[in-house]
């Protein structure tokens, strides 16, 4: 009886141990599976984070390049506008200095002659000058160019003119502007392409140096 009881206890103990080992093995396997799943999820999450960081970096780089390009264009535009304004100011003052009364008279006579040769102005040619230049020009006309003056040039005052003159031939609907502003604008218009080329050349040189 005692032997049977001992065998029973040994068998129960053995079965308990085996069952415990099996349960432990299941727990360990489950833990491994969970650990493996956690690792995979962590790797996937890390990969996603890395990919997002790379995408964000590319977007930031593209935006930075666009911002720099816009800033560069703004700088070129600002510099170009500054140079244009400076050029216009220089041209304006240079033209004003060049338009002396004697120069005005020479221009007016040549223009009137050219109009007459082309068949314009069967009547008189109206020359509009500033009040300041009108007095001097009329005086010089009467002293040196009386004959040309009497042939068909009328001189009138235009308070809006600072320097230079305008030509009006009403009978032929002809009107030309040779004022200081108009001549300066024409000079600037002529020089703008050359200035633009210089600005772009300098900008390209700076980019290559960087």
Q: Higher-confidence residue: 166 or 3? A: 166
pLDDT at 139: 78
Query: Quick one: which of 174, 157, 180, 163 has its CA closest to 114?
Result: 174
Percent of the chain with pLDDT over 90: 0
Strand partners for 177: 166
Tens-place pLDDT, residues 59-68:
887 887 788 7
pLDDT at 145: 65
Q: List phi, psi (to 5°) of 174.
A: -105, 135
Residue 37 is encoded by which pair of tokens?
């799943």
Residue 6: pLDDT band by 50, 70, 90 thresholds? low
pLDDT at 89: 87
Domain ranges of the chain: 1-98, 99-190
What's the CA gap between 194 and 197, in Å, rounded? 5
| Candidate from 48-52, 125-129, 151-155, 158-162 with smallest mean pLDDT | 151-155
Q: List phi, psi (to 5°) of 96.
A: -60, -40
Percent of the chain with pLDDT over 70: 75
Is the pLDDT score of 123 beyond 60? no
Is the pLDDT score of 206 beyond 70? no
pLDDT at 85: 83
Tell me the CATH number of domain 99-190, given options 3.30.70.20, 3.20.20.70, 3.30.2320.30, 2.60.40.1180.
3.30.2320.30
Is the pLDDT score of 7 beyond 70? no
Instruction: Quickly count: other Cβ atoms within 10 Å of residue 54's Cβ.
Output: 10
| Rounded mean pLDDT, 65-80 | 75
| Candidate from 82-86, 120-124, 180-184 with smallest mean pLDDT | 120-124
Our separate counts of H helices and E strands in the chain read 5, 4
What's the CA gap between 172 and 34, in Å, rounded? 100
Is the pLDDT score of 129 beyond 80? yes
pLDDT at 192: 80
pTM across the whole model: 0.56
**Alpha-carbon radius of gyration of the chain:** 47
Residue 44: pLDDT band by 50, 70, 90 thresholds? confident
Mean pLDDT of the chain: 76
């Amino acid at each position: 009886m005692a032997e049977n009881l001992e065998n029973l206890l040994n068998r129960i103990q053995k079965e308990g141990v085996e069952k415990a080992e099996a349960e432990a093995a299941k727990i360990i396997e489950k833990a491994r599976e969970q650990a493996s799943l956690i690792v995979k999820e962590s790797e996937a999450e890390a990969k996603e984070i890395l990919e997002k960081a790379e995408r964000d970096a590319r977007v930031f780089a593209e935006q930075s390049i666009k911002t720099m390009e816009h800033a560069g264009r703004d700088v070129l535009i600002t510099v170009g506008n500054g140079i244009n304004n400076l050029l216009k100011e220089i041209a304006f003052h240079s033209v004003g200095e060049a338009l002396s009364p004697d120069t005005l008279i020479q221009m007016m006579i040549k223009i009137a002659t050219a109009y007459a040769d082309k068949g314009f102005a069967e009547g008189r040619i109206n020359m509009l000058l500033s009040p300041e230049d009108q007095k001097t020009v009329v005086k010089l006309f009467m002293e040196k160019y009386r004959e040309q003056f009497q042939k068909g040039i009328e001189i009138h005052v235009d308070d809006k003119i600072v320097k230079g003159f305008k030509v009006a031939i009403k009978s032929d609907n002809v009107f030309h502007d040779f004022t200081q502003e108009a001549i300066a604008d024409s000079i600037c218009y002529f020089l703008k392409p050359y200035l633009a080329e210089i600005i772009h050349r300098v900008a390209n040189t700076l980019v290559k140096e960087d």
